[in-house]
Amino acid sequence: MKNIRMIMAYSWAVLAVPLILATFLGMPTWARFLVDTTGLKVAPKFSGGEVIRTIEYQGYSTRIHEPSFDGLFGPCKQGFVQIDWKANAGSFPETISEMIDYDQNGTVDFSVVIQTQTDQVTLKALDSPVIAPEPLISIPDMKILRIRLRNP
Amino acid sequence: MSGFLLGLSLGAACLASCAPILVPWYLAQAAGWGRNFVLLGLFSAGRLVGYGVFGILAWIIHPVIDSLRHSFVFGLIYLALGIMLIHFGRTQFHNPCVSKGLMRRIPAEIFARPGILAVIMGVLVGLNLCPPFLAAFTKAAETPSLAASVIFFVCFWAGTTVYLLPLPMVGLFRQPVAAIVGRFACWIMAGYFIYQGVLIWVGGLK
Amino acid sequence: MTERGRTSYGCPPTRIAWHWTILLAVPMVLLTAMTMTQGQPLPKELRLLIPLIVSFVFLNAMFILMLRSGRIDQFRSPVFILYALGLVMMFIPNMLEVRGTVAIGAEEIVQGKVPFCHMVIPMTIIPAAFTRTIIFPGSMLEGFASIGTMLVLWLVVSIVLGRGWCSWVCFYGGLDEGFSRILRTPLIRRISPTLRYVPFAVLLVIVLLSAVYLTPTYCEWLCPYKSVTEFAAVTDARTLIQTVIFVALFVGLVIILPILTGKRTQCGLFCPMGAFQSFTNKVNIFGIRIDKDKCIQCGACIKACPTLSLDQTCLEKGSPRMTCSKCGRCVDVCKFGAVSMQIKGTPPGHPNLGRVLFVYPAFLVMAIMGGSMIQQGLYRIILLVTTGSLVGGS
């Protein structure tokens, strides 16, 4: 028994080097395997959540993310919905004006107007769960807006 | 019944709010799980008192409760909780020595007896405006009478307490080392609560 | 395989003969050549070629000396320190080139462009278990230091080295180790042993708070290394307070206290990742063995241990505390050969076998990770000397 234990211990110790090498050489494969098997994703709080709808306009497209009310054990009282505007040809029209139905229930939830030169946002809540917009995030070719929501 | 159901539905958030206080505290006590259940009972009794107070308040002053969220009173509650945790950690390192400094006026028995401390912490936690609590407050404020409001809060308390029941099992890990870790953790949590309290005082940066 | 060595203080009694040393070093030379060149022909530009050759020679020289001398820490430490310095020298200019600032803005967060760091791992476990999400603004698979890559690396290294991670792989640890070696005689010699438990308390608190708020609390509020990598852009009072905390902790725990105590105070007295990593020592095959028959209880190893993982009870028990980061300093300073690297489950009496079997994978990870950092750090220094700027170049 003692000998078996010793052989196993030495074998395990010797295997350490091939294990390290295999890890580094196959890193992209192992990383993908880990992510696929566990189903882990970046929390919506950071990623904005899954894109559930894309609307194409002339010159830009609007992407509506899934509303997020993430809490540890279940949905929270407050959350947000993220809307991205992506310029197709590198620049936006001067004004983006849009009516958003983020929960796709056929009723417009809020209207938003963005002055793309100044990044000024005007949001008008048309449904009670809408609380307020967060500051607009502007990156080349993209405008990102999160709107805080009450969980209905 | 609706209070109990609301407590059950939102109680997981209570676990999230109370675990950072209770787990370090239990570890620092280094008591077994049986004794921890007794302490949880006292802590919950304290919470019940806090909730009862709010049951009355909900009926009387519900229109102004939202403005209270960032008020002096709640900053003070956070600070009190923080100071209690600091002092608790200190008295666990050195035998109760409350005759010193600011603590001179507080009876030594409070810190020497975990039971009393459990009740006080329970009251302070019960007086906090955590998200499930606010939900309960809104509902209670809609009740027709004072008695209904208080009963609603008692039921809400019962629903949320269900989620705290597993916490005393921390006592299964009791070791002198775990107690030291728990005491340090109490201090760090105290720093967090004091920070929250100060932020509320200086203008709601939260 | 061994020959008798000197027995003066600081010299282990065994060392490996030259022919064995060379034979053992050949695979490491080939592996480091392969990983550092990434299978590509040597660069023609001198600014790239010089760092590559210098870091390759440096790493292999350290490894050969480590094998030959029978010492571990003496030749691990310079690599580990330069690895951390290389990270800082590489990271900051790289961020300046990529995004124009070291500050993380909301743009980087929403685009998942923040490199994942192992410090976040303990905080992600509870949220990942309950929500199947990682509470960090990085990318699962794409870009530099993706979450998937770092998780795989951490899992494998934890299985292989346990808390050896903290002295061989962590790209920050070399900073406080470097400062801890500045004074030959520390000014503060007595550190309360109770303070060894602070990292576990920090771990407990940050794990609970991260689970409650679903944000990486330690990264937001307490990580001293934010000061030399990246931190949230100061836009309001909250981010100002956070930045003040980062800088204060860095100055206190990574610079001043290590200089005064000669210990790795951030790693041994604060770091929650180190505390978390200690648990992996329990399931790891490598460890330190103290031979009670050879030990004369002189306490040299206790004094030398940089993470306060040794005390009198450890000498009586024959093994260090679970917080041991396997730096090998205790092995180096024991002049009686009482302390050795062991493979758990094997009989005593083969100190070099245990040492070589541990050092090989440990140095390999450090060389793969640290080699590129040292190389890029050197490149930035050459760039600074030749162009007057750390950014730019090819």
> Which positions in chain C touch B176 (Cβ < 8 Å)?
none
Phi then psi dihedrals of residue A52, to 5 deg:
-100, -20
Beta bridge partners of A111: A99, A124
- Contact check, Cβ <8 Å, C209/B205: no
Confidence of residue C144 (pLDDT cuts 50, 70, 90): confident
Considering the domain architecture, whether residues C133 and C79 belong to the same structural domain is answered as no
Q: For residue range C287-311, what is the model confidence (pLDDT) as tens digits?
A: 999 999 999 999 999 999 999 999 9
Clarify whether residues C2 and C95 are in a common domain.
yes
As for how many domains chain C has, the answer is 3
Amino acid A110 reads: F
Comparing C11-20, C29-38, C131-140, C175-184, which segment has the lowest mean pLDDT? C11-20
Q: What is the span of the domain harbouring residue C301?
A: 285-348
Enumerate residues 6+ apart whose C-beta is below 8 A from A16: C160, C161, C285, C357, C360, C361
**Mean pLDDT across A91-114:** 90
Report the amino acid identity of residue C360. Y
Chain C nearest CA to A43, separation (Å):
5
Tell me if B150 sits within 8 A of B55, measured CB to CB. Answer: yes
- Interface with chain A: mutation pick from B6, B8, B9, B10, highest number of A CBs within 10 Å: B10
> Cβ of A137 and C35 within 8 Å?
no
Q: Which of A1-5, B127-131, B154-158, C124-128 has the lowest mean pLDDT?
A: B127-131
Using 50, 70 and 90 to split pLDDT, how confident is the model at C16?
A: confident
- C231-232 vs C103-104, strand pairing mode: parallel
Q: Is the pLDDT of residue C118 over 90?
A: yes
Whether chain C has a CB inside 8 Å of the CB on B183: the answer is yes
* C119/C159 Cα distance (integer angstroms): 17
The domain locations on chain A are 2-38, 44-150
pLDDT digits (tens, 9 = 90+) for A30-74: 999 999 999 999 999 999 999 999 999 988 999 999 999 988 877
- Rounded to whole angstroms, how far apart are CA atoms C4 and C188? 37
Q: If we measure between CA atoms, which residue out of A132, A121, A147 comes closest to residue A65?
A: A147
Q: Which chains touch B (3 or more CB pairs under 8 A)?
A: A, C
Is A76 an 8 Å CB contact of chain C?
no
The answer to whether residues C115 and C226 belong to one domain is: yes
Where residue C333 sits, what CATH number does that domain have? Answer: 3.30.70.20
What ipTM was estimated for this complex? 0.89
C173-182 pLDDT per residue, tens? 999 999 999 9
Q: Looking at A100-104, A146-150, B113-117, which range is the least confident one?
A: B113-117
At position B32, the amino acid (one-letter code) is G
Closest Cα in chain C, distance from residue B177 (Å): 8
pLDDT at C3 over 60: no
Do C305 and C385 lie in one domain? The reply is no
- DSSP for residue C251: I
List the single residue in A35, A43, A44 with the smallest CB-CB distance to C141.
A35
C281: part of which helix (H) or strand (E)? Answer: none
Position C372: which residue type? S
- Give pLDDT tens digits for C329-365: 999 999 998 999 999 989 887 888 999 999 999 999 9
pLDDT at C166 over 80: yes
Q: CA dihedral defined by B81, B84, B90, B96, rounded to 10 degrees?
A: -160
* pLDDT of the residue at B43: 81
Residues of A at the B interface, defined by Cβ within 8 angstroms: 71-74, 76-78
C244 and C121 housed in the same domain? yes
Q: How many domains does chain B have?
A: 1
Structure tokens at C332: 């180096």
Q: In angstroms, what separates the C-alpha of A151 from chain B's closest C-alpha?
A: 11
Q: How confident is the model at residue C63 (pLDDT cuts 50, 70, 90)?
A: very high
Task: Please list every residue in chain C whose beta carbon sits closer than 8 Å to the beta carbon of residue B19.
Answer: 208, 212
**B12 CB near a chain A CB, below 8 Å?**
yes
> Tens of pLDDT along chain B (206 residues)?
566 766 665 556 666 667 777 777 777 766 677 777 887 888 888 888 877 777 777 666 655 555 555 566 667 767 776 776 676 666 554 433 333 343 444 455 555 566 777 777 777 776 665 555 655 665 665 566 677 777 777 777 787 777 777 777 776 666 667 667 777 877 887 788 788 777 777 665 44
Across all residues in chain C, what is the average pLDDT? 90
Percentage above 90 pLDDT, chain C: 70
Nearest to B20 among C194, C202, C205 (CB): C205
- pLDDT category at A133 given cuts 50, 70, 90 is very high
B12 or A140, greater pLDDT = A140
pLDDT classification of C107: cutoffs 50, 70, 90: confident
Q: Which domain, by its residues, includes B30?
A: 2-202
Chain C residues with CB inside 8 Å of A32's CB? 141, 148
